[in-house]
Structure 1
């Protein structure tokens, strides 16, 4: 139980001293509880600790709540609310808001923190991402206003990346409005920097948030217009690999928007254009965290078929993806693809294969399954449509996310 106290205290961003002050105990008492030197044997004390940590007492006792848990890899509502509050703060207006001045973090240090946040995101470690975001959403605006070790433009380029990560994670969690707000901030910050490719990638975040809000045509138009503008500016096929990657990422997201709008022809055309761009690269890369290349084009082609309701075609594309190439993609992307293939299997009525894809997704990046509403819904569908007992691995997963009645 002491380890659980320490885990949740750290997730809430509290030191032992701050936590001790909140519950009216000494730092030494908290330290002994967390190390197991002192036992927690009074339920009244356990509930007091849980209240201070903004969790249910059952979570300290080892009983996770049903459905949207803090299952070791999910953001809970307290963390989402902390990100919301970070998005709503305006540290640069501190002199007008009578807020205490915040010391500016050196830009090289911020750059390291942003890179760490990207790495955590690509591995699907969303609580780590949340803690990083909350701090970075506070620090990057201050750094742009009072840059140390770099320029304001450098800080703005870091800020757009922070907003982009926030937008993507929030969209995955079903927080579409917050995702749109973060993406819109990303565009503004990108335009204050000196790197037009960051503005291109920020465009995909805005378009993805629009898709989550049901604005499929607006998302399609935005992606395609910016893609064509970028490639015209950079010189077509003579562009650098990074430029081609951003151009290709815009095309892929445009293809997904078209598929969601039910326009299979436009989706296919955009995927073909993205495939030609990927062939110029000749390999999968990760410029600007795009994971763009021939494999990711195939992954998106399969996903587009799923959105069009063509599960059989989606699975046929999946079967043509070389396993080694798929394994080279980042964990978040692999897990996302297996979730899409789970949907494809459900569409064609193959619950056994759907179970395998879902369990594979959980193995690659558990948060992609345990935190996303779409994944919980898929578990429900598979359980209800499976004849007889579900596969043991799926049953275990369903129990862990609270999907078994």
Structure 2
């Protein structure tokens, strides 16, 4: 799209936003005729102030209008590409709550409609449909921000804040998957502030989990360990009363995330302690559940045993743990969790020199949730390693996957 004149780019993004020329013109304070002439190239856009106004209405970075857009790759159609990253970035850079202090709050969808959209986004993420999610996230972010502003002084304020906090967490998780770690941290940090306004300790705890994940991805391992353990300690079930299932789930996930950070610095003792604490919580919970979208339970604890073993360099332990897992519990896990696990076990097999089994694990993950394998930089690294260490010609399915992912030896 780089070669298109700016008017055509304006028309393209207006179409992406599903705005008519009249609606677009009204929001710009221009006539429909003016918009039509700009899009056809009859009228030039020679004032930067007008270009910036257009970018603001279309909710895109101005560089996209000026022809700096990164070309979409066909193989990335089910992933989050740079166009969608920039749209999400633009949504995260909005400060609607501050704007609402000075002017009327923009229209927002009804909260029941928002709840359905947020639940659908969570399920889309947990089924690893990252391309679908990426195309929905910018609008969902804007709608949730508008709803939060619109209900700021009403009885529904905490409910609107809760929904926005969830949307920030969904965005953080999706961005981290595709390597946008700084943006992932920003979204998670926003969720902490919003979750506090929502008055929900567990949502704030999960926001801390997302912050810990983003910090870990950024290589900030010790801060990641600290934030997970500190918040887990505050949510720890104590006292004679039986803890709620939701509390056990969030508490357990914080411990597991802390274990991942501890593994990254080779702290085997801390990994063991945190995994054991999470295992105890999962036994109290009594099974695998998806409270607060955590997928927490005994099976997820086992998945993290494998993942931490891999990060500690003990591929053999990871593979042995994988082979001894409860197959029924594993099959009941959502696709994102299972495909993520196959990627971890592929890494484990490479550590013990079995590149053939590593390739099989990548193929299993790809069959289950293609985006979890094809969209993640880590999976590209593992596949490249498998290809490099394969003697002779790689098996046809691996060669085909490599071609589709654009991975060479």
TM-score by length of 1: 0.83
Alpha-carbon distance in structure 1 between the residues aligned to 2:390 and 2:241: 49
- CA distance 1:335–1:146, shift in 2 (3 Å): same
- CA distance 1:11–1:256, shift in 2 (3 Å): farther
Alpha-carbon distance in structure 2 between the residues aligned to 1:400 and 1:97: 50
- Which residue of 167, 170, 178 corresponds with 2:175? 170
- Which residue of 102, 120, 123 corresponds with 1:119? 123
- Which residue of 231, 246, 251 corresponds with 2:236? 231
Alpha-carbon displacement from aligned partner over 1:291-344 (angstroms, at most 9, x marks no partner): 100000000000000000110111011011122211111100101000001111
* Structure 1 match to 2:132: 128
* Structure 2 match to 1:258: 262
Alpha-carbon displacement from aligned partner over 1:99-149 (angstroms, at most 9, x marks no partner): x85202211111111001001101111122122221121122221222299
Alignment of 1:170-209 (within 5 A): 170-209=175-214
RMSD: 2.7
Structure 2 unaligned residues grouped into runs of 5+:
1-11, 25-34, 42-65
Deviates more, 1:319-328 or 1:303-312: 319-328
Alignment of 1:3-402 (within 5 A): 13-15=16-18, 24=40, 56=71, 69-70=75-76, 72-94=77-99, 101-147=105-151, 151-232=156-237, 235=239, 238-402=242-406
* Structure 2 match to 1:44: none
Alpha-carbon distance in structure 1 between the residues aligned to 2:345 and 2:178: 19
Alpha-carbon distance in structure 2 between the residues aligned to 1:328 and 1:236: 32
- CA distance 1:112–1:53, shift in 2 (3 Å): farther
Q: Which one scores higher on RCO, CA 8 angstroms, separation ≥ 6?
A: 1
Q: How many pairs are equivalent?
A: 360
Deviates more, 1:349-358 or 1:11-20: 11-20
Alpha-carbon displacement from aligned partner over 1:355-376 (angstroms, at most 9, x marks no partner): 1100011111111111111111
Structure 1 unaligned residues grouped into runs of 5+:
1-8, 26-50
Alpha-carbon distance in structure 2 between the residues aligned to 1:362 and 1:128: 17
Alpha-carbon distance in structure 2 between the residues aligned to 1:309 and 1:190: 36
- CA distance 1:85–1:261, shift in 2 (3 Å): same
Alpha-carbon distance in structure 2 between the residues aligned to 1:281 and 1:155: 29
1:106–1:147 CA contact under 8 A, matched in 2 = no
CA deviation after TM superposition for structure 1 residue 15, in Å: 3.7
TM-score by length of 2: 0.82
